[in-house]
Amino acid sequence: MDPMEVFKIEVTGQEEYGAKKYRELIMDILQDLGLIRSIGRLYVYIDILKPFFAVYGLLRSGIPPLTAKDVGDVMRVSGGYQIKINDEEHMADLLRALWEHYGRERVEQPARDMLIIASDTSPSEIVVADLEAEFLQDLTDALVRVAPEGFRNRRNEMTKDSFLFVAAEESLTPEILSEIKKKIREMENA
């Protein structure tokens, strides 16, 4: 079963096999990069004679940025705050954010999973990583991997809740783009 609500793929000409395989391929790549849960609907349109490759997707609700309190438990101790790290994956990002905010001399790490900050302001709300930006970066990487390799003229339009990725061998003209957009609107309404 598809984890996505809608996943349509259309290829012009006698290319049913290609369409079927590209479906598997897109699934494999999105799964490999852990992106599949964040995409709600996906429409793929391939014209192999022109040739171009287009993907339009709707994203599931935005991911809030990761703050210090998501990464560990923040506690008030004498002389400042203590963070007990639960998720070590973001340790480097957390340290960088704290150094930037408080300065290196006020951040101490007595143990691997323990940080002590000599300050009266709580670090709870400090942004450790912008997961949405990371997600969009990963998504672009996935789309470049999915597109056939020779299609080096690319266009990527990303908004907060959707993306349109077009790749072609020849230069992308406004006519091709409007044709793709029209086709994808048809697929959406079908």
Partner 1 sequence: MLEPVMFTGGLYKHDLVVELVEDLGGYILQKNVTQSEIILLILVPSEDKAALEDLSKELRGELVRAPLAGTEVAVVTPTLAIHHLPHTACDIAEYLRRHGSKTNMMGLARGVGREIAQINEYETALINEHDAAVFIFGNFQECIKKKEGLYRNITVPVVVTGGPQIEASELPYAFEYVPAIGRVAHRARKATEIGTLDRIVESIGRALDKTRTTIAKDPLTTSPPRVMDAVREQVPDVMFSYSPLPIALNLNGVRVKLPFEAYKDAVSSVSFDEGVKLGEIATIRPSRMKDYILVRILPASETGFVF
Do 120 and 148 meet the contact criterion of CB atoms below 8 Å apart? no
Shortest reach from residue 19's CB to partner 1, in Å: 9
In terms of CB distance, is 34 or 62 closer to partner 1? Answer: 34
Do 140 and 156 meet the contact criterion of CB atoms below 8 Å apart? yes
Residue type, 67: T
> Going residue by residue from 66 to 95, which x/- string records binding to partner 1, judged by CB under 8 A?
------------------------------
Residue type, 136: L
Residue type, 157: E
Do 172 and 147 meet the contact criterion of CB atoms below 8 Å apart? no
- Please count the other Cβ atoms lying within 10 Å of the Cβ belonging to residue 139: 21
- 92-121 residues near partner 1, rule: CB under 8 A: none
Binding residues with partner 1: total (CB under 8 A) = 24
Of the candidates 22, 54, 61, 60, the residue with the CA atom closest to the CA atom of residue 186:
54
CA distance linking residue 78 with residue 184, whole number of Å: 60
Residue 40 within binding range of partner 1, rule CB under 8 A: no
> Going residue by residue from 116 to 155, which x/- string records binding to partner 1, judged by CB under 8 A?
-----------------------------x--xxxxx---
Answer for which of 6, 21, 34, 86 binds partner 1 (CB under 8 A) is: 21
Answer for which of 88, 134, 161, 170 binds partner 1 (CB under 8 A) is: 170
Residues that bind partner 1 (CB under 8 A): 11, 13-15, 17-18, 21-22, 24-25, 28-29, 32, 48-49, 51, 145, 148-152, 169-170
